[in-house]
Amino acid sequence: MHATIKTLADAAECYIEERCFIKELSNSDSDAALSIAQARVLPGVTTRWHRLKDTTERYVLLSGTGRVEIGTLPAQVVTAGDVVLIPPGCRQRITNVGREDLLFLAICSPRFHVAAYEDLES
């Protein structure tokens, strides 16, 4: 691994079928221990039920208000500064219950691979 600075401006945002927008901030073979993506969920939208195989995910809430559902825990409202820990294989989804975009970092370890993603609504 080499010292690197990646800027938010360098990351392209794309819409994914999970019903949210993603900016991959850091996800590479040179830093396989983790990945960082910025997720954006529009007001009133709920992401699809899904889980990640062999991957721990953390949501770090940056702005907005969401209602997160993970595993068998009751749904809980989350806001800026909250951290949601999602163990490997745990079902999850989040709803934007506010009036502004819900913005959070999705930090995965090991780094996110599409092969780890399992859509539970198919």
Cα–Cα dist 19/35, whole Å: 20
Whether 30 is in a domain gets the answer: yes
Whether 42 is in a domain gets the answer: yes
Whether 4 is in a domain gets the answer: no
In this structure, what token pair is assigned to residue 107?
A: 């930090």
Question: What is the overall mean pLDDT for the chain?
Answer: 96
Whether 52 is in a domain gets the answer: yes
Q: Give first-to-last CA distance, the chain, whole Å.
A: 38
Which CATH number characterizes residue 34's domain? Answer: 2.60.120.10
Name the percent of the chain lying above pLDDT 90.
90
- What does R_g of the chain's alpha carbons equal in angstroms? 14
Whether 37 is in a domain gets the answer: yes
Whether 29 is in a domain gets the answer: yes
CA angle, 86 then 91 then 95, to 5°: 85
Domain total for the chain? Answer: 1
Tens digit of each residue's pLDDT (9 = 90 or more) over 48-73:
999 999 999 999 999 999 999 999 99
Which range (27-31, 38-42, 105-109) has the least confidence? 27-31
Whether 92 is in a domain gets the answer: yes
Question: Range of 60's domain?
Answer: 20-119
Q: Give the full edge-to-edge strand order of the sheet including 92-96.
A: 76-79, 65-70, 92-96, 50-52, 117-119
